[in-house]
Structure 1
Amino acid sequence: MKRTLPFAIAGVAGYLVDAGVLSLVFGLLGPVWGRVLSWSCAVTATWLINRNFAFSDRAARQGKRRELGRYGLAMIPGAMVNWLAYGGAMAVLPALDWRPALAVAAGSLAGLGVNLVAAHKLVFRGDR
């Protein structure tokens, strides 16, 4: 699939946003609410990247807000897989400074395939 590499690159950028925001707010919001905020920021970043690169030929020309809403909803199944892996990693990794970033990486990798299929089938469908 020609979209896999650009989607994966967007995923790396999303990981950097996710882990970066989480590292900034972890002490204040904790591992759950901090992750809610960081995941939301990462979803917005990956939507922007994916609509301009991986799915540029199928991105909505109008209704970008609606497309972002569809993207956020379509990412929920992948988020569930992501959060299960994140929680598992947080539970088993030693409590060191790098634990949240590594747990986010585990979650991101776990949800990648689900998110690719959801983006392709549910969000970036071309103008209809």
Structure 2
Amino acid sequence: MKRLFSELLLFGLVGTAGFIADTAVLYLLRDALGNYWARAVSFLCAVFVTWVLNRNLTFRRKTSNKTARQEFLHYFAMMLAGGTVNYLAYAALVTWSPIVQRWPVLGVAAGSLAGMVVNYLQLRLVMYKHDKHTGG
């Protein structure tokens, strides 16, 4: 139970780092690309940041049994499900909430929370389900 709690805590911290990367890129690009396209780019950046951190921190005792390249491509594909939930929540709020239109970070936060559960379950139950030392 302690290990699971530690894993959830690290996953949340990695998610926070991803949120910061996501928001920074969004704000950097939104004037040039608009809120929707800037978010698409910022999402890609957040996926890369969270993959590196989850691989080396959260699930460091686990393995995906793939090369780094294969693992990233699999990770990215899996994150599309959580990313879809994330982006739909963000887009709905940006579309219908004047407050979120003005402060898109609120939409990023809502989207991040919505996608977090989907992402964790995919990683825990599908990608990083094998212990490195025992294989099981």
**Shared fold per TM-score greater than 0.5:** yes
Aligned length: 128
> What percent of counterpart residues are identical?
36
Matched residues in 2 for 1:21 and 1:70: separation?
A: 23
Q: CA deviation at 1:62?
A: 6.0
Q: TM-score under structure 1 normalisation? A: 0.90
Superposed displacement of residue 102, structure 1: 1.1
Q: CA deviation at 1:59?
A: 3.4
Q: Residue in 1 aligned with 2:45?
A: 41
Gaps of 5+ in 2: none
Give the match for residue 22 of structure 2: 18
**Once the 2 structures are TM-superposed, how far is the Cα of residue 22 of structure 1 from its aligned partner?**
0.3
Give the conservation status (yes or no) of the 8 Å contact 2:95–2:101: no
Residues 11 and 98 (structure 1 numbering): CA distance in 2 closer, same or farther, change over 3 Å?
farther
Q: 1:117 is matched with which residue? A: 121
C-alpha contact 1:75 1:119 (8 A) present in aligned 2: no
Deviation, structure 1 residue 96:
6.9
CA distance in 2, matches of 1:49, 1:37: 19
Match in the other structure for 1:102 = 106
Higher helix share: 2
TM-score by length of 2: 0.85
Shift of 1:31: 1.6
Which has the higher relative contact order, 1 or 2, with Cα contacts under 8 A spaced 6 or more apart? 1
Stretches of structure 1 lacking an aligned partner (at least 5 in a row): none
Greater C-alpha Rg:
2
